[in-house]
Each structure stands twice: as structure tokens, then as C-alpha cells.
Structure 1
Amino acid sequence: MKNFVQPGHTITVAAPSGGVSSGDGVIVGALFGVAATAAAAGAALEISTEGVFTLPKGTSTTFASGGVVSFDVATRLCVTPGSGKYPIGAAIEAAGNGATTVNVRLNGTTTAAA
């Protein structure tokens, strides 16, 4: 196909305000991805939009296996769905109280704040 651009698993975007570190969750417009490298604000940044990633969460936030995971742009943490939060995927295993991370299968689709 002469109109094919790329598979889309990893794409290049401009790093958001404040910059990012490798492994950070990133919202750019309607896209969520995980930063492949560190980048200053506005610099070219590769993000992975598909796959399973270990991402940070608040210690009191809990997820059941298969539970919907959203992202809070202000805290850069995975949270339960709610107003102003961006749905990004599903937990592939339970992440209980006291845990600081959750393993998330990314949706690989566009997102918008609930």
C-alpha cells in the first residue's frame, strides 16, 4: 500500500510542558503513551501507544485484574476512572492497597478526559 505510514505502536510527538523522563505516562492531545526516553518540553519524543507497562499509582488506589485504569495528568499517576481522568487501558493483574505500581495493558486508542 502506497499510503501506509507506519505500524503506530510507537509514534513521535512533542514532549508536554515540564518535559518527561523515560517510562513516564504522557498525554498529548488525545494520545496516551509511555515515553521511550527523557525529553524536554517541546522536544521530539517517542511514545509507545500499545503493550503492557508497569506504571506508577497512588498507594491507596486499588485495581482488580481486568479493571479499567485511567491517568491523572496533574499527578502523572494511574487512577480509577473519574471526572477529568483519561482512560488508558486495563490492569492485567490486581494491584492492591500499598502497591506503588500497576501493570497496564494500554488501549492503543485515542482518549479524552471523562
Structure 2
Amino acid sequence: MTQAIYVQRGETIDYINSTSVIVAAGEVVALGTRVGVAATEIPVGAKGALNVMGVYDLPALGTEALTVGQAVYFKDGKIQATVTDAVPAGWIVEPKTQTGTVARVKID
């Protein structure tokens, strides 16, 4: 039998800011194959909380229409439908017009 040990609920995870700049509250952080959103400011070298569940309005490319349920990706600070060199971000929960610059995304 494999025994699991409860650590935390999972809406947030601990994140150590190993970059050379402060992570601002609300900033999207790429986590390899996922994204998180900083719950508070995270100083360089410090541990802070990243929200890894929830629905967020995020900056999006203003050249793509997005539909409910569509998988989206994070690249160069924007949500987009293109997969190439991008981090999976979640899925669309409200339609976005082609010229819209904000996407409502369920991160997961």
C-alpha cells in the first residue's frame, strides 16, 4: 500500500522566486507545463503563494477569437491559441472576439 501525506488544499502552491526580479501580486508565472498567478508580491529568493486554480482575466493577443472550452496557452505575457513554444494556461470560460485583448481563463 502506498501512503499519502496531506500537505495542502492545492488552490495555491508554494513557489520560491529564483529569478532576479520581484514577482508582482497578480503576475502570471510560467511553471513548465502550467501557469500560476502570484497571490502576493514575492521578493527575489523568497517563498510565496501562487494560485494554481481559479478564473482570471488575462492579457490576450488581439488577433484571435477564442471560444468557451478552448485550450489556451501563455507566451510573451499573453494568452493565445497557438501552442508553439507556449505554456499551457487552461481554457476559455467566456468567448473573446478577435480584437479583444483580455481572455477569461480557467487556469488548472
TM-score for the superposition, normalised by structure 2 = 0.82
Q: Residues 55-66 of structure 1: matches in 2 within 5 Å?
A: 55-66=58-69
Q: Is residue 62–residue 99 contact of structure 2 (8 Å, CA) maintained in 1?
A: yes
**Which residue number corresponds to residue 11 of structure 1?**
13
Question: Does the alignment pair 1:33 with 2:61?
Answer: no
The unaligned stretches of length 5 or more in structure 2 are none
The unaligned stretches of length 5 or more in structure 1 are 108-114
Q: Residues 1-114 of structure 1: matches in 2 within 5 Å?
A: 3-15=5-17, 17=19, 18-72=21-75, 75-107=76-108
Counterpart Cα distance in 1 of 2:81 and 2:18 = 23
Q: Give a deviation string over 1:72-91, Cα, whole Å, max 9, x none.
A: 1xx22111132111112110
Computing the radius of gyration over CA atoms, which structure comes out larger, 1 or 2? 2
Instruction: Say what the alpha-carbon RMSD is for the aligned residues.
Output: 2.0
40-49 vs 51-60, greater mean Cα deviation: 40-49
Q: Is residue 10–residue 48 contact of structure 1 (8 Å, CA) maintained in 2?
A: yes
Structure 1 ranges of 4+ moved more than 6 A: none
Q: In structure 2, do the counterparts of structure 1 residues 91 and 42 end up closer, same or farther at CA, with 3 Å as the change threshold?
A: same
